[in-house]
């Protein structure tokens, strides 16, 4: 991976997340109306986040990418998962999940830069297709993804599994 590669935004670098980044990542994930429903940002963090992070970090098909500003503050995050597939003649696909940009950085091009970097990483890993889902209650996110060239070509469905 192109760890530490900078985007064209001044002072922003993209790299693979480290364990010490976890509190900042969870804070970003919880920083909107839907995230507050799903996440639990607390000090200390619930142990489930550490377990999940270790699983992601230990899986070569998963990469948790963070955007870091010049003050070494995490201002963006996304997870890229490469999924081996028999479709498209056995070509892998990449799934983008858990995208968040710090409120102070929205509208400045960081999301576009981060997606460009993640798209390059998916290409390096031989992926034929890049896909994502977005909650229908996030119309701004939908418009953003469409501006990047994503097409709502399929109807997505989810089944929540209770504990």
- Residues 119-147: pLDDT tens digits? 999 999 999 999 999 999 999 999 999 99
Q: How many residues does the chain have?
A: 163
Domain-wise residue ranges, the chain: 13-147
pTM to 2 decimal places: 0.89
- Model pLDDT, residue 7: 56
- Average pLDDT in the chain: 92
* Residues facing 14 on adjacent strands: 67
Lowest mean pLDDT among 12-26, 27-41, 46-60: 27-41
- Which conformational region is residue 15 in: left (phi greater than 0), alpha (psi within -120 to 50 degrees), or beta? beta
Question: Does 13-147 carry CATH code 3.30.460.20?
Answer: no
CB 54 within 8 Å of CB 60: no
Q: What CA–CA distance (Å, rounded) separates 12 from 4?
A: 9
CB 153 within 8 Å of CB 117: no
Give the tens place of pLDDT for each residue, 38-68.
999 999 999 999 999 999 999 999 999 999 9
pLDDT at 3 over 80: no
């Amino acid at each position: 991976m192109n760890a530490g590669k900078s985007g064209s935004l001044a002072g922003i670098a993209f790299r693979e997340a480290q364990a010490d980044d976890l509190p900042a990542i969870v804070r970003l994930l919880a920083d909107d109306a839907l995230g507050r429903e799903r996440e639990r940002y607390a000090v200390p963090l619930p142990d489930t986040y550490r377990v999940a992070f270790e699983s992601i970090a230990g899986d070569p098909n998963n990469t948790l990418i963070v955007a870091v500003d010049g003050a070494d503050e995490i201002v963006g995050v996304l997870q890229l998962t490469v999924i081996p597939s028999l479709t498209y003649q056995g070509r892998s696909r990449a799934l983008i999940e858990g995208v968040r940009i710090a409120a102070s950085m929205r509208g400045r091009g960081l999301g576009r830069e981060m997606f460009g970097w993640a798209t390059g990483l998916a290409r390096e890993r031989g992926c034929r297709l890049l896909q994502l889902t977005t909650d229908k209650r996030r119309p701004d996110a939908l418009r953003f993804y469409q501006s990047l060239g994503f097409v709502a070509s399929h109807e997505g469905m989810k089944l929540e599994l209770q504990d």
